[in-house]
Structure 1
Amino acid sequence: MKKHKLGYILGTILIVIVLIIGGVTIYHQGVQEGKRIAAKTILSATNEKSSSTETESDSSGTDSSEDSESSESDDNTITLDDEDYEVTDSKDYKPVFSDSSWTNTKVGIDEVKVLQSDGTTEDSDGNEVNGIVAVHYTIDAGKDINMYPTQGTMNTNSGEQVEADMSASDDFDGELNSGASVDGWVIYFLKKLDSIKDLTSVRLKWDADYDTDDIDDDNFSHTYDATVQLN
């Protein structure tokens, strides 16, 4: 009788453990999927109301652009990392940025969206948000590499420097095998953006590296430095 009771208890404990592990796995999958959906909400919420401009760049990492028109949008609410942001104006750019200078890896920036918020909401760190910049990256890995746009920085022409918000951005970077092609949105929150027209350029920096046992290999790490004009 005691053995039967002990076996019943152990079996019950095992079932509970399996249910807990399964629940945690499903939760994390839901969080990651939610991040991807949240970042892409920027497009669905504002694309129909914004105008775009074609820009061209050279391989040195600096983008040149032509004049574009700005259009005001009706109030929209977007959700990023479970936070709602009221968007009062938006502007969409279509830069043609490409950099293949390192490890035969091609990195592109093909869309930049600038959003003005009403300034009554806060980011994940509790800072008041007045503007949002969403940058769409594409990566075609030419080697087994590690790349981290979601851990980079952005400088604006107004002098503001901010870090990418990893929790609000898409989950697409990190360890990439040779031949992998990925893309995703990286989100940057601005504290000062009185008008969409105030933002005329952004400088984006992020790091990449690959594993090597060669102590003389000075090419194993690389910092990308891209300037995109928004006027």
Structure 2
Amino acid sequence: MSKKIQDENGNTFVEVKPLYKRWWIWVLAVVVVIIAIAALSGGKDDTSSNKNSTANGHSTTDVEKGNSKNDNSSSNYLTIDYAKVPIISEKDYKLSITDNSWNSAAISVSNARIVKVEPFEYDSQSGKKAQGLVILHVSVKPSRDLDSAYPDQSTLITSDGQQVDAIMPSIKGLTLNWGGEIANGADKSGDVVFPIEKLSTVSDIKSLRYKFSASYATDDYDDENYNHDYDMTINLNN
């Protein structure tokens, strides 16, 4: 409440309190300070968020170089017959191997991929499971018409003594079931997949022996060259 003051002449005056003595001024000041602190805190959070979103540098890993991989994350898998099979580790070998032992066709192997996976059933009839896969990329370049060339229906012997036949499931990203008749002048290539039942590490396999047959049609009964058995040894530098 304002205080009334009367001077010596009988005049009455009302004493006005200074602003700093009014309670609502202090309440308003406190509110303003709280709002200012909240605004500053929000700005710091934004700055912190921006800092956290910046990229961090690191030395390039083998995985990023494409030399080898060792990652069992959910995004690292093979899609085999529409099922996701997790990859535990894998190793790629860039190759330059050509077999010219038969003058009717040259066979080249440009890549060998050794993959360790979570065990999966690769043969539903026998229930057999594989711990790994060997995937070869093979090319056939004939110099005459071949009526039978099946690099994808072949046999593999590993350096640790496993002998397996190629399989042709549906695997996303691979070209399978590509063998058959191959005409002169064609350059046909695709992938060949072998299940490996026992595989502790991808470095266990030091070499591969790759075998398949090819032939051409002929009416010459004396032609003993119409058929050929390819037998290629592939050494892997671990």
| Other-structure match for 1:203 | 209
Identity of aligned residues (%): 32
* CA apart distance, 1:191: 0.3
CA distance in 2, matches of 1:219, 1:139: 18
Where 1:149 maps in the other structure, the secondary structure is coil
Contact 2:90 2:113 (8 Å CA) reproduced: yes
| Aligned with 1:152 (options 151, 154, 157) | 154
Contact 2:114 2:135 (8 Å CA) reproduced: yes
CA deviation string 1:138-178 (max 9, x = no partner): 11111111211111100001110000003346132110111
- What are the equivalent positions in structure 2 for 1:122-141 lying under 5 Å apart? 122-125=121-124, 126-141=127-142
Bigger helix fraction = 1
- What are the equivalent positions in structure 2 for 1:35-50 lying under 5 Å apart? none
CA distance in 1, matches of 2:85, 2:64: 16
* CA apart distance, 1:107: 1.1
CA distance in 1, matches of 2:158, 2:91: 16
- What are the equivalent positions in structure 2 for 1:27-66 lying under 5 Å apart? 51-52=66-67
Where 1:112 maps in the other structure, the secondary structure is strand
Unmatched tracts of structure 2, length 5 or more: 1-61
* CA apart distance, 1:226: 0.6
Q: In the alignment, residue 187 of structure 2 is paired with which amino acid?
A: S
| Other-structure match for 1:72 | 70
Q: TM-score, normalised by structure 2?
A: 0.65
Q: In the alignment, residue 158 of structure 2 is paired with which amino acid?
A: T
Unmatched tracts of structure 1, length 5 or more: 1-46, 53-69
| Other-structure match for 1:61 | none
| Other-structure match for 1:66 | none
| Other-structure match for 2:15 | none
CA distance in 2, matches of 1:94, 1:200: 14
Equivalent pairs, count: 167
Contact 2:140 2:189 (8 Å CA) reproduced: yes
Contact 1:49 1:90 (8 Å CA) reproduced: no
CA distance in 1, matches of 2:104, 2:151: 18
CA RMSD of aligned residues (A): 1.9
CA distance in 1, matches of 2:87, 2:65: 12
When structure 1 is superposed on structure 2, of 146-155 and 163-172 the one drifting more is: 163-172
Q: Work out which of the two has the higher radius of gyration on C-alpha atoms and give 1 or 2.
A: 2
CA deviation string 1:94-132 (max 9, x = no partner): 11101122134221000000000122x111333111001
